[in-house]
Every structure is written in C-alpha cells, then in structure tokens.
Amino acid sequence: MPLLLGRALRAFTDGYVAILLPAYLLALGFGTWQVGLIASATLLGSAVATLAVGAWGHRFHSRRLLLWAAALMAMTGFAFAVGSTLWPLLVIAFVGTLNPSSGDVSVFVPLEHARLAASAHGEARTALFARYSVLGALFAALGALAAAVPDRLVEIAGVTQLDALRVMFALYGLVGGAVWLLYRRLPAPAVAAGPPPAPLHQSRRVVWKLAALFSLDSFAGGLVVNSLLALWLFQRFDLSLATTGTFFFWAGLLTAFSQLAAPYLARRVGLLNTMVFTHMPASLCLIAAAFADSRDLALALLLLRALLSQMDVPTRSAFVMAVVAPGERAAAASYTAVPRSLASAVSPTLGGALFAAGWLAAPLVACGLLKIAYDVMLWRAFRGTRLR
C-alpha cells in the first residue's frame, strides 16, 4: 500500500534527522537556544500547513495534496543541505517538512489518516492504524542507526563532519522524491465509499475538547522532542552520534512493539484506557531519568518510557476517528493535529533555553508532570463517550 510504504520512508528520514539536526546546527556554530528555536519553527510551520488542510483541504483531492507535501519534503531536504545561516534555515524549517520529534507531526498526517480511516471500520481500523504506526516506529528506529553514517563518511571518504551531515539532509530530499513517486500511484477514492469530506459541524464540540487536551500533551512533549533529548544525552553524558543513534534504534524498536500490542490491549480494556494507563508510567520514567546518576540507569529508564509512551498513538488516532462524523474525519484529524503542532512548537525553544541556562533536568520533569495532568483530564472528560 503506497501510504504505508510512504510512511515508512518518511519515518526513516525522520529517525536520523531528529538526531542529526542538533549536531548539524552545532557544527554550523549555533548554540543550544538556536537549536530549540529552529525545532520550534519546524513544528510551527507544520501546524500552519495542517491548519490549512483542515480549513480548505476538503476542496482538493487528497492525492493532489499528498503530492504537494512530498514535493515540499524533497525541496526541504535539498535547501537545508546548502543552508548555513540562521534566518534562511529558520524560513526553511518553517515552510518545510523537517520533524524534530518522535512522532509524525507533519502535514502528511491528516491526509493519510483520513484515507486510512476510510479503508476500514471498528477494530480493523484500530489494527490498520497500528500497522501504520508500527511501520513508522520500525523505520524511525532504522533511521536512528543511520545517524552514525556521517562519522563513517568522515573516516572512509575523508570529508569534514559538516559536509557529511549535509549529505544526510540531501538524502532526505531524495527520499521526498521517492515518496512523491509512490503517491502518484494512489487511486482516487470511490464515490460511494462514504460521505464526502466536509468542514467541521456535527463533531465540532468534541473535536475542540480533544484539541485542547492534545495541545497540553504536545506542549509537554515539545520540551523533550527527540532533537532536544539527543542534545540532553550529548550534554549530560557526552554520548557520541553513533551511541545516541543506537539508543534511539532500540527505543524505536520498543516503540514499534508497543504500538503493535496496542490494538490487542485496546480490545480488552478500551481505546481510552489504553491511551491513559500506559502513558502515566512512561511519564514517571522520564521524571526519574532526569535525576539518574549514571548513564546506564538513565538510558534504561528512557527505554522503558519508549516501551510505554507511544502505545497511545494508534489508539489515539483510532479514537479520534471513532468519535467524529465520517464525513468530518479529515477536518477532525487536522483540527486535532494543529493544536498539537502549535503547542509543541512553543516548547522546544523553552527547552533549549533551559538547557542553555544549565537546568538540564527541568524540561524532562516538566514534561512528565504535564503529561500526567493531561492523562487525568482526558480520562475524566471522555470515559463515557460512545464510539462510532
């Protein structure tokens, strides 16, 4: 299926970009605050693009929008590979598709989610979203291993580390071209497959409630997006790119396993309970890792967090699709994704500033506490909601 393969390719590039982005920016001479600022710009730009899809995307064929997004991905990689000064890179980060986080927050998400939701129903839909998420997690893990490629290029080809890092962003652009070719194969949806895409109306109230809660969760997550978590590992334990990539590889594998298990758990305890009661222990692990004295203990706690923290991803996507009117699913996906992107766009700058001030534990602790608050409020707000 082109959507699943496209997701896998994008996840592969996201896996190494999240690790190499801070290393690339530091190699260009930027400080930790600028790293957070550029990470914020990427997320803010994704939010604006996703909002546009939610407001006006129903006027266009989803295949056309996906092709536009893939072309933008290609241009982003090539432009970032040749950039060297702050303001041009900020503009590219805002307009483009770079993803510094562990999840997919790009403009691709609402478009792909709407097509996936129309392809299955009930438990089959949850399983399809799980496969979509698992593929993303597995290939992001493989991408994390690719973060060691620049060091190998320096050893084998004799290039500078900066040039080796530029090669990886050029590869991101090439993958964007491959995704564009894949999405050209997408068929037009059948006319009778379901209600035509529509703006929010019937589901507006529940979507705004979900959007508000998701924004809190994403603001918290933005404090420790993968790029900043990699930066924390660089500064706290002086990890190399190869070691950091290996850690994110194993974290990605654990995430993939947890997302594969999510639909089975959801069938037994429900979508909402799966979202909430796997998320809380993950947040406690993050808080504990902030105070860990040794590298091994910190990494073990972060790996345990990876096993639990993303189990809500396929269940959350399925939950959103299950509580809104079928014709409003594309708009609902956009309007719940936009606040997540906007909220997470603010916090990386704050996280980078806290790192620059020497408060290395503060972003991790704040993230954990805010996520626990989100879980409690989500469960109380939707525990009696009927699913479609």
Cα gap 128→143, rounded to integer Å: 22
The two tokens of residue 186 are 């997408």
CA Rg value for the chain: 20
- The full DSSP string for 69-136 is HHHHHHHHHHHHHH--SHHHHHHHHHHS----SSS--STHHHHHHHHHHTT--HHHHHHHHHHHHHHH
Please list the pLDDT of the chain residue by residue as tens digits (388 residues). 788 899 999 999 999 998 999 999 999 999 888 998 998 898 888 878 877 776 676 677 778 888 999 999 999 999 999 988 999 999 999 999 888 876 666 778 778 877 777 777 666 776 777 788 788 888 988 999 999 999 999 999 889 999 999 999 999 999 999 999 999 888 765 554 455 555 555 667 888 888 889 889 989 998 998 989 999 999 899 998 889 999 999 998 998 888 788 888 888 888 888 999 999 999 999 999 999 999 999 999 999 999 998 888 778 878 887 887 766 766 777 677 667 777 878 888 899 899 888 899 999 999 999 999 999 999 988 887 777 6
**Dihedral angle, C-alpha 281, 285, 286, 287, nearest 10 °:** 100
Other Cβ atoms within 10 Å of 365 Cβ, number: 17
Give pLDDT, residue 113: 76
Closest to 100 in 3D by CA, of 194, 193, 190, 224 = 224
The two tokens of residue 165 are 């890092």
C-alpha pair distances (Å), 124 with each of 46, 114, 116, 121, 277:
29, 15, 11, 6, 22
The two tokens of residue 118 are 């129309």
Q: 305 with 286: CB under 8 angstroms?
A: yes
Cα gap 363→222, rounded to integer Å: 9
Other Cβ atoms within 10 Å of 341 Cβ, number: 27
Residue type, 369: L
Closest to 375 in 3D by CA, of 205, 217, 263 = 217
The two tokens of residue 144 are 């994390």
DSSP 186: P
DSSP 146: G
Cα gap 223→367, rounded to integer Å: 6
Reduced DSSP (H G I as helix, E B as strand, rest coil) percent helix, strand, coil of the chain, to 5: 80, 0, 20
Q: Which residues, other chains included, contact 358 with Cβ-Cβ below 8 Å and sequence gap of 6+?
A: none
Q: 65 with 122: CB under 8 angstroms?
A: no
The two tokens of residue 76 are 């982003």
Cα gap 216→348, rounded to integer Å: 14
Burial of 28 per CB tally in 10 Å (0-12, 13-18, 19+): middle
Would you say the C-alpha torsion 50, 52, 54, 59 has a positive or negative sign?
negative
DSSP 196: P
Phi and psi at 208, nearest 5°, equal: -65, -35
Q: 349 with 37: CB under 8 angstroms?
A: yes
Q: 81 with 98: CB under 8 angstroms?
A: no
Cα gap 363→379, rounded to integer Å: 24
Give pLDDT, residue 192: 45
Q: Which residues, other chains included, contact 225 with Cβ-Cβ below 8 Å and sequence gap of 6+?
A: 18, 39, 43, 100, 101, 102, 344, 348, 351
Kindly report the pTM of this predicted structure: 0.78
